[in-house]
Amino acid sequence: MTRVRVLLAIAAVAMGVGLWFALTAPTDTLQGEFTRIINIHAPSMWLAFLAFGMTALGSAIWLIRKQSRWDRLAEASAELGVMFTAIGLFSGMVWGQAVWGRAWDWGDPRLSTTAVMFFVYIGYLALRAATPDPTVRARRSAILGVIAVVQVPLVYFSVNMFRTLHQTQSIRPDGITMPREMAIAIFVNVIAFTIVYIALLFARIDVAKAEERAAADIALAGDAVKPPRLSEVKDV
């Protein structure tokens, strides 16, 4: 748990630094202060992609090696991916409502595909919750985890395939199309969010390990079921 506490402390500091950068970065002329939402929205979506990628990785390795640590990674990362996607969707909707007067734009495939991605992993978590046997749960969710990751590149590249209201990538291999200070603020927040992800990932994995230990500690039923007290039957 010490490792987690240290990471959480670092994450808290990093988020503080990210907040400072977000509040001091320049804003867009048309969108005004609402521009700052990008420092939540963009890092959240990046971390969602990372998290679901880690889920796919953990799932694939579990299918090969059948070690529970990879299943714990896949599960924890999927939960965090859903959380970051929810934050990204919500912040995007607030931004859209404020700037364009609509929380949801059906003309934007990236929004729709992100929502679909969100529900794919909600289904992944529901599958896990519905499967009591640990090995069966790991196998079935590993299969789904590998299939579901197809959503991630689909979301990312959708904005390049369609002309949309959504902002295209501002940070591309051929250069950055936003003010340098704004890009730095986003970059700092991506790092801060990543540290938060790592801290929460380790914390969640520690919880999963504790749950497994607790389940193993439960006495085998055969040992804990005691002989009936036949002489006391008549007194109940």
What residues make contact with another protein under the rule CB under 8 A?
93, 102-107, 112, 115-116, 119, 122-123, 125-126, 129-130, 132, 218-219, 221, 224-230, 232-234, 236
DSSP per-residue string spanning 9-28? HHHHHHHHHHHHHHHHS--B
Pick between residue 18 and residue 109 the one whose CB is nearest to another protein. 109
Coil/strand/helix, residue 170: coil
- Please name the residue that has the structure tokens 């500690």: 217
Q: Which is nearer to another protein, 107 or 153 (CB)?
A: 107
Give the single-character DSSP code of 32.
B
Least distance from another protein to the Cβ atom of residue 38, Å: 20
Whose Cβ is closer to another protein: residue 32's or residue 107's? 107
Q: Nearest CA to 44 among 93, 82, 99?
A: 82
* Smallest gap from residue 93 Cβ to another protein (A): 6
Shortest distance (Å) from residue 107 CB to another protein = 4
CB of 100 to another protein, least distance (A): 10
Nearer to another protein, 175 or 228 (CB): 228
Spatial neighbors of 206 by CB under 8 A, at least 6 apart, are: 1, 4
**Look-up of token digits 């950068």:** 21
